[in-house]
Amino acid sequence: MKYYQHQFDEVTKYLHHRPPYLLVDVVVSVSSKEAVTQKTVTSKDGFIHGHFPGAPVFPGAMMQELTTQSAGVLIASQYNPMKDFNTEDPHHNEYALGVLVKIDHARYRGFARPGDVLVTTVSLNDQVSDMFDFSASVSVNGKPIMKNRFRLINIRSSALQKTD
């Protein structure tokens, strides 16, 4: 349990996401151009039971989210415009980091089931101002099961708040 808690603490210093929506279990490595993360698929993941009954698989939409969360780790660690970044109190932060604005394509070539360890590799292709262009792959046992390309942006936190 200590290992898991250590990894959870490592992940949550980069991301605002929390269980059950936090998908990244482990930050394997992060640099200015690439992040590698892991997610172990478990039968405790709430969406597994309904996708699909009798043949549980990790949903493709959640793989997309896993890649964007992994890219969020890279942005928060390398391209954070705030010197005081607080993942416990997101209202404290001037910017929301890594907001998904475009998916160029996603290709699925396999399935992930409970017990599988998903290794996600995100590569930063380009950055223009606060816009980041990424390519990503998700692999199980060294075999790619999903590849995609997408864009994230850092926006002012106030843009996410509801206005009447």
* Amino acid at the residue 148: N
Calpha distance 101→99 (Å, rounded): 6
pLDDT at 24: 97
Q: Which helix or strand (DSSP H or E) is residue 136 part of?
A: strand 131-140
pLDDT at 46: 83
For residue 38, give the 3-state DSSP assignment. strand
Q: What is the fold of 2-160? A: Thiol Ester Dehydrase; Chain A (3.10.129)
Catalytic residue among 6, 49, 51, 91: 51
pLDDT at 33: 98
Cβ-proximal residues to 111 (8 Å cutoff; 6+ apart), any chain: 57, 58, 145
Cβ-proximal residues to 129 (8 Å cutoff; 6+ apart), any chain: none
Reported pTM: 0.91
* Amino acid at the residue 134: F
Calpha distance 73→70 (Å, rounded): 5
Active site residue 51: yes
pLDDT at 4: 45
Q: Tell me which DSSP letter residue 116 carries.
A: P
Per-residue pLDDT of the chain (164 residues; tens, 9 = 90+): 334 445 878 898 899 888 889 999 999 999 999 999 999 999 888 888 888 888 899 999 999 999 999 999 999 999 998 888 888 876 788 888 899 999 999 999 999 999 999 999 999 999 999 999 999 999 999 999 999 999 999 988 888 877 76
